[in-house]
Amino acid sequence: MQVAINNAVLELTEGDITEAETEAIVNAANEALVLGGGVAGAIRIKGGPAIQAECDKISPTSVGCAVKTTGGRLKAKYVIHAVGPRNGEGDEDTKLTNATLNALILADRDGIKSLTFPAISTGIFGFPMDRCAEIMLGTTIDYLNGGSNLEKVAFCLDGKGSYKIFQQHLQQLAEK
């Protein structure tokens, strides 16, 4: 599914984020920037040790922040590591908004034209998919409407259920 937002395209796909054909992909990172399991583990396996080596030099970071490293052997040139909240830690909606917004700002500031997000914090951090979709899509649409140089922002979702939740939210937000 694709929608035009200002001068950009917002796209939903289902699949493997490490195969995304964008200039950068976003890692659902932890504060220590250790590429363990989930999205981070897939990035570590396909991208090679250069990504973790760069993470080790710039870690730790805070929840809501975003930092950039090489993409190693990935199709994407860069990985933007956005640290989302753990469900139950408090103020999670604001923290997820900040992680999303800071990834967008970082990409825009560094001249990146296209990036792909996962559903941040919905894996081992236990954040509800429905709230994630509403927050991440709303933040992205607001950012793109504010005047950005980004040309494409994609969300690569793992599984049909996740895709359908994001699709429903995007349809509702696009109608506003």
Over 80: is that where the pLDDT of 175 sits?
no
* pLDDT number for residue 33: 96
Task: Mark 71-99 as b/e (b = at least 16 C-beta within 10 Å).
Answer: bbebebebbbbbbbbbeeeeebeebbbbb
Segment 61-98, tens digit of pLDDT: 999 999 999 999 999 999 999 999 999 999 999 999 99
Over 90: is that where the pLDDT of 147 sits?
no
Q: What percentage of residues in the chain have a pLDDT greater than 90?
A: 94
Segment 100-135, tens digit of pLDDT: 999 999 999 999 999 999 999 999 999 999 999 999
- pLDDT confidence of 7, banded at 50, 70, 90? very high
CATH, range 2-175: 3.40.220.10
CA–CA distance, 9 with 152 (Å, rounded to integer) = 5
Segment 67-76, tens digit of pLDDT: 999 999 999 9
**Which of 106, 157, 103 shows the shortest CA–CA distance to 133?**
157
Query: Chain-wide mean pLDDT for the chain?
Result: 96
Over 90: is that where the pLDDT of 58 sits?
yes
- pLDDT confidence of 170, banded at 50, 70, 90? very high
What are the residues facing 157 on neighbouring strands?
Answer: 14
CA–CA distance, 117 with 95 (Å, rounded to integer) = 16
Q: Which amino acid is at 137?
A: L
CA–CA distance, 69 with 55 (Å, rounded to integer) = 7
- pLDDT confidence of 37, banded at 50, 70, 90? confident
Task: Mark 33-47 as b/e (b = at least 16 C-beta within 10 Å).
Answer: bebeebbbebbbebb
Q: Domain ranges in the chain?
A: 2-175
Tokens of 37: 């399991």
DSSP states of 115-172 as a string?
EEE--TT-STT---HHHHHHHHHHHHHHHHHTT----EEEEEESSHHHHHHHHHHHHH
Output the pTM of the full model. Answer: 0.96
* pLDDT number for residue 154: 98
